[in-house]
């Protein structure tokens, strides 16, 4: 059942904006230019913060007890490296389980 809903602003000389989402139209007071400028400044600051973090390469994974960290051998992508509780082993996944290579 589709319903068309239109929300109209109160009477008076209020600048308004209309936004349509499918069959729904929403009419609301337009933001002031001061509010728009303030939001631009806030979003610019947020973008600067995230850009600094995204500019740093790599991901940091902290080891936890009894939780293995896996990576691929850079010389042989068929070999996995497992770090578990301070011990590093090379091996492969066989039937869903890590099997160390001697």
Q: d(Cα 88, Cα 76) in Å, to the nearest integer?
A: 16
Q: Residues in the chain with pLDDT < 70?
A: 1-14
At residue 12, the pLDDT reads 59
Is 77 a domain residue?
A: yes
pLDDT of residue 4: 55
Domain presence at residue 41: no
Which pLDDT belongs to residue 46? Answer: 94
Q: What is the pLDDT of residue 90?
A: 96
Count structural domains, the chain: 1
The number of C-alpha atoms within 13 Å of 19 and in the hemisphere containing its C-beta is 5
Residue 9 falls within a domain, yes or no?
Answer: no
In a domain, 79, yes or no: yes
Residue 75 lies in a domain: yes
Global confidence as pTM: 0.42
pLDDT by residue (tens digit) across 16-35? 888 899 999 999 888 889 99
> Residue 86 is part of which domain span?
69-100
Say if 83 falls within a structural domain. yes
Kindly state whether residue 40 falls inside one of the protein's structural domains: no
SS3 letters across 1-66 = CCCCEEECCCCCCCCEEEEEECCEEEEEECCCHHHHHHHHHHHHHHHHHHHHHHCCCCCCCCCECC
Domain assignment of residue 23, yes or no: no
Residues in the chain: 102
């Amino acid at each position: 059942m589709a319903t068309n809903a239109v929300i109209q602003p109160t009477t008076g000389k209020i600048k308004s904006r209309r936004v349509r989402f499918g069959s729904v139209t929403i009419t609301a007071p337009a933001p002031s230019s001061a509010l728009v400028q303030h939001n631009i400044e806030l979003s610019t600051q947020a973008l600067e913060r995230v850009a600094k973090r995204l500019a740093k390469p790599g991901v940091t994974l902290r080891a936890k007890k009894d939780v293995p960290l896996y990576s691929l051998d850079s010389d042989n992508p068929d070999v996995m490296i497992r770090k578990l509780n301070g011990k590093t082993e090379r091996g492969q996944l066989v039937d869903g389980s890590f099997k160390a290579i001697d």
